[in-house]
Amino acid sequence: MAELREVQITEEKPLLPGQAPEVAKEAELAAQILLDQGQTHSVETPYGSVTFTVYGTPKPKRPAILTYHDVGLNYKSCFQPLFQFADMQEIIQNFVRVHVDAPGMEEGAPVFPLGYQYPSLDQLADMIPCILQYLNFSAIIGIGVGAGAYVLSRYALTHPDTVEGLVLINIDPNAKGWMDWAAHKLTGLTSSISEMILGHLFSQEELSGNSELIQKYRNIIAHAPNLDNIELYWNSYNNRRDLNFVRGGDNTLKCPVMLVVGDQAPHEDAVVECNSKLDPTQTSFLKMADSGGQPQLTQPGKLTEAFKYFLQGMGYMASSCMTRLSRSRTASLTSAASIDGNRSRSRTLSQSSESGTLSSGPPGHTMEVSC
Ligand code: BEZ
């Protein structure tokens, strides 16, 4: 539980006017190192305690980026490759980040006692206000994967005024139908929980290819000391209610949304259907080639670039704030975003692997991405 330590940065000797600037600089550097490592906190909620890790410092007038991971993972195994990707640094330095671990998924989490009632996904969403209240944050941009994407969507439906934007990877907004249940039960007869979760996270092609990435995640999940807790989160995911998005109705996401899925990934059809139910003027749909089931692990470069355009569409990350390198790289897509005016229509972005291009809605409009 080393991560659960609260790090207190107290000045034993407050810096006095005239004190050597090197001392102040050193203190600042030490504080920065601590913040860069992330500070882990826990808060009590009506549904039990929840742990989250905060990186960076709050920026005035900017929402926090809040992430929610998928089943079988925690914030690190789900998001570290994306948030530590070199090009991502230029983006995230402008935002404080809050990475939530679903209960019992944090590193070193004890196994819940037998009979413990794990929160439903709706209850997990209801824990988020406690986190924001604790941190005194009023607005977020959410990034969620799978079950985490569902949790953030539910939160956005109930607290629309606090969500400025959502990046939803592999979202399946539908409750399981009886056919899905039958298939799930049958698979359960022959497969272990960890194999079922791997089948949720990765495509069959990836699993049979057994790349280093698959071996790593198979090992993480199969040997997780908290596998019993993971099974509880998995059950909550499988028992989720339908989000019931209705295009043009009251029950829809009001903020800009970027839907992301790998082509031929397990949740491709669900994300396509979800796209058809959301407001086309607020939603971009990014189908990513060669990314398998977890684009944030396999294609952090493409996702970083797409995220940058998404933020720019929301009025953050003006290209003048970026380095010359990233400015020139984003120029073509940035201009496309402004052609769109302020999200006047739906965009489908599909990234082709061979050419390294992003193509958008209007025919013939191809935008280059160098990743
Ligand atoms: C971050 O900087 O937000 C971060 C760092 C390590 C893991 C995950 C996120």
Nearest CA to ligand 1 atom 6: 80
Strands (DSSP E) found in 62-204: 64-68, 97-101, 140-145, 163-169
Q: Render each residue's pLDDT in the chain as its tens digit; 371 residues.
A: 344 444 443 333 444 455 677 777 776 666 665 566 799 999 999 999 999 999 999 999 999 999 999 999 999 999 999 999 999 999 999 999 999 999 999 999 999 999 999 999 999 999 999 999 999 999 999 999 999 999 999 999 999 999 999 999 999 999 987 877 777 777 777 789 999 999 999 999 999 999 999 999 999 999 999 999 999 999 999 999 999 999 999 999 999 999 999 988 999 999 999 999 999 999 999 999 999 999 999 999 999 999 999 999 999 987 655 654 454 444 333 323 332 333 334 455 555 433 333 433 332 222 333 32
Q: In the structure encoding, which two tokens stand for residue 286, read together?
A: 């990014």
Q: Are strands 366-368 and 357-359 parallel, antiparallel or unpaired?
A: antiparallel
| 101 within 8 A of 72, measured Cβ to Cβ | no
Quick one: pLDDT at residue 182? 77
| Other beta carbons within 10 Å of 259 | 23
Residues with CB under 6 A from ligand 1: 55, 76, 79-80, 83-84, 92, 97, 99
- What is the 37 CA–ligand 1 centroid distance (Å)? 8
Q: What is the pTM of this model?
A: 0.83
Task: From the CA of 97, give the closest atom in ligand 1.
Answer: 3
| Other beta carbons within 10 Å of 90 | 16
53 Cβ contact list (under 8 Å, min separation 6): 3, 38, 39, 40, 41, 75, 98, 99, 101
- What is the 83 CA–ligand 1 centroid distance (Å)? 5
- What is the 212 CA–ligand 1 centroid distance (Å)? 22
Neighbouring C-alpha atoms within 13 Å toward the C-beta of 147: 31
- What is the 138 CA–ligand 1 centroid distance (Å)? 21
- What is the 181 CA–ligand 1 centroid distance (Å)? 36
Q: How far apart are CA 36 and CA 27, in angstroms?
A: 14
Residue 301's nearest CA partner among 338, 323, 330, 265 is 330
